[in-house]
Chains A and B, each alone.
Chain A
Amino acid sequence: MKVTTSTSGAAMVAAVEGRVDSANAKDLDQELGAVIDQGGSRLVVDCSDLRYISSAGLRALLVAIKRTNKEGGGVAMCRVPDHIREVLEVSGFTRLTKVYATVEEAAGSFD
C-alpha cells in the first residue's frame, strides 16, 4: 500500500494505492490520521489505484470519517473502481461518505 498526499483547493487529498487488508490497515489508519493532523479535516480519498480493501481497511476509513466529521469537515471519496464501490455499498459506507467522479469535484463538495 502507498498513500500519496497532495492538496486540491482547501482540501487535502490522500491517494491510496494497492491493497489494504488486516495486515496493513493500521498503516492506513496512521497515514490518514497524519493527514488530518496536518489540517486535513476536509479529506478527499482518491481510490483510483486502490486494488483491494477489506473490512479492516474500512475500519481505518471509518475512524477518519468520524474524526473529520467531528472537526467540521468530512471525507469525500473519488475515482472509486466498481469492485471497490461494491464493497463500500454493501458495508453502508456510501451512506457515510459521498463518492465523486474526480478529485476536483470531491474537493469542491466541501465548499
Chain B
Amino acid sequence: MDAALEVGMKPQSSEPRRVAELFERFGAEHDLPPKIVMRMELALDEVLTNVVSYAFGEDAADAQITVGMYISGSLVRISIEDNGPPFNPLTEAADPDVELPAEEREIGGLGIHLAKTFVRTLRYERVDGRNRLTLEQPLDGQPEEPSE
C-alpha cells in the first residue's frame, strides 16, 4: 500500500485545520487504522499550529510551507518543510509538568507534548536553508499506549 499527497499551505491560523483534515481524509481513503489517524492528525495539527504561530515572524509574506503525507509499506510519514529562519518546535518549549494542580498549570508546551506522545518518531532537521519536521508512525501493531 503506497500513497502520497503533497500540499502547500500559508502561515495563517486557519491552515492547520485544513491540512489536518486533509490528512484525516487521506488516512480514511487508504484504510489506515482510525486510532493511528486520529493520533497523527492531532500531532500534525499541533506541530503546524506551532510553525504557523512562531516560525515566520515578520517574514510571513515570503513563507512557503509544504506538507507531504506518505504511506510506504507499513510506515506512515508526514513531512513538513518551510523556508523560515531556523526553528525547532520540538525544543522550543519545555515539556509541561502534567501532574501539577490546575492553579499551577501552564499550558505552554502541551501541544508538542501531545505530538511527541502520539507518534513514534518526531524529527527536526535543517536542510539547505529549510526547516524539515518529520512524523513517522509504523502501522504494524498499535502505537504504544501513552501514559500520563
Contacts and interface: CB of A to CB of B under 8 A. Distances in A.
Interface in B29-56: 35, 38, 41-42, 45-46, 49, 53
A34 to B, nearest CB: 20
B84 interface: no
Report whether over half of chain A's contact residues are helix, strand or loop; otherwise say mixed: helix
A55 interface: yes
Contacts, number: 77
A90 B102 CA distance: 15
Contacts of B96: 92
A92 B35 CA distance: 20
B99 A22 contact: no
22 contacts: A21-B16, A21-B45, A22-B45, A23-B13, A23-B16, A23-B17, A54-B46, A54-B114, A55-B46, A56-B49, A58-B110, A62-B107, A83-B38, A87-B114, A89-B148, A90-B98, A90-B113, A90-B148, A91-B114, A92-B148, A95-B148, A96-B101
- List the 6 shortest-distance A-B pairs measured between CB atoms, nearest first: A92-B98, A55-B111, A55-B110, A22-B49, A59-B107, A96-B102
